[in-house]
Structure 1
C-alpha cells in the first residue's frame, strides 16, 4: 500500500468516525496528517448568494464541482491540457468545508505545487479575480510559516466540517518554502521604522 493510499484511508476513517466526543482527537489527527506536507497557499473560497439555492446555501455537490473546476483551471494553466496525465497529476490540496452563520457553504483549503513554490508559478490576483467573477468572495494567500498551517483545516473539523483531499494527496512532497525575509523586505522594514 502506497503512502498516498494509506493517507486516503486515514482521511476516510477520520471522516466516518466523527462524533462530538472525538472532535479534539480527530482535529489533532488531521493536523498531524496535514503537517507532513509543506503547503504553499491558503484559500478561503465563498459562494455569493446568487449562486446559491432558495435558502441561501449552495448544494454541496455543486460547490464541490465549482472547487474542482477552479483547481482544474489552475492545473491547466500551469501544466497544459493533459495535466492529469503528468506524473505528479497537478497541484495537491486538502480542503475543509464549513457552513457559514448565514447558511452558505464555503471552503478553506491548503495547496502546493509539485516542483516549485506555487506563489511564484501563478498570479494570485488573477485567480482571485477568476473566483470572484465566477463564484464569489475569496482569499488566496501565502502562509507566513508552516506553524500557521497546522491548525488551519483541522479547526474546521472541530466545527463539524469535513476534510477532503486531492487524488494525488501524499504522492509527492512539494519543495519547502523559504520564510526568511528577502533583502529588499528587510530594507523596507528598516525604512518604515526610521520614519
Structure 2
C-alpha cells in the first residue's frame, strides 16, 4: 500500500491521478535500477511486473495497492525492502510493503479493488515471463528419457548435456541435474 503525504497533495488535499501515476512509476523505476542496474529496461523481462489498484481515502487523498513481482527471481531474495520503503517514505508518504503468503492472497488483494469499482492497471511487461510452449508431436518426453538414461552417471546425474530432437525436428540442448 502506497499512500501520499498531505503536503504532497496540493491545496485541496487531493493529488492529480497523473501526478500519482508518475510518482508510482518513479518508485518502480528506482527499484528496477536498484535490482537490475541502469539498463534494466533493455533486459528480456523489462523490469518488475506489477498490478496496481487505485483508491481514494475519505479525505480525498489517492493511494495505491500494488502487487509487484520479478520475472527472474523472488523479490525478497533479490532486494533490500528497507531501502525501497525508505525511498517512498522520503519522497511521497506512508507505505506498507509485505510479502504475500500465497497466490490466493494476491488474487484476493487485487480483486478486492476491482469489486469496489476501483481502477486496476498493469505494467506494460505484465506477461513478460511466459512458460515455454508445449510441443505436441512425436512424444519428445520419451526421447528425453532415453537420452538422459543413457548419459546417467552416479546417483542419476547427467555427465554431459544431452542433445535431443523435439517433436518439430529441431535439435534442443538439454542439461539435467
The answer to whether the 8 A contact 2:14-2:62 is kept is yes
After superposition, where does 1:63-74 map in structure 2 within 5 Å?
Answer: 63-74=20-31
Within the alignment, does 1:144 sit opposite 2:129 as a pair?
Answer: no
Which deviations, in whole Å up to 9, do the C-alpha atoms of 1:134-174 show, x marking residues without a partner? 00000011011222111101111222210110010112159
Deviations 1:173-195 (A, max 9, x none): 59xxxxxxxxxxxxxxxxxxxxx
Matched position secondary structure for 1:111: strand
Q: Relative contact order: is structure 1 or structure 2 higher (C-alpha 8 Å, sep ≥ 6)?
A: 1
Q: Does the 8 Å CA contact 1:93/1:169 hold for their aligned counterparts?
A: yes
CA deviation digits over 1:75-105, x for unaligned, max 9? 1111111111111100100000001111100
Deviation of 1:68 (Å): 0.2
SS at match of 1:138: coil
The counterpart of 1:110, out of the listed 67, 81, 93, is 67
- In structure 1, the partner of 2:16 is 59
Per the normalisation by structure 2, the TM-score is: 0.71
In the alignment, structure 1 residue 80 sits paired with structure 2 residue 80: no
Residues 49, 56 of structure 1: 8 Å contact kept? yes
Select which of 86, 90, 96 maps to 1:133. Answer: 90
CA RMSD of aligned residues (A): 1.3
Does the CA contact (< 8 Å) of 2:71 and 2:128 recur in 1?
Answer: no
Residue 96 of structure 2 aligns to a residue in which SS? Answer: strand
CA contact (8 A) 2:46 2:128 kept: no
Q: Equivalent residue for 2:150?
A: none
Aligned length: 131
State the distance in 1 between where 2:83 and 2:130 align.
26
Q: What is aligned with 1:170?
A: 127
Unmatched segments (≥5 aa) in structure 1: 1-43, 175-195
SS at match of 1:153: helix
1:89 equivalent in structure 2: 46
For structure 2, list consecutive stretches of 5 or more residues without a partner in the other structure. Answer: 132-177
C-alpha distance in structure 2 between counterparts of 1:173 and 1:156, whole Å:
26
- Correspondence for 2:111: 154
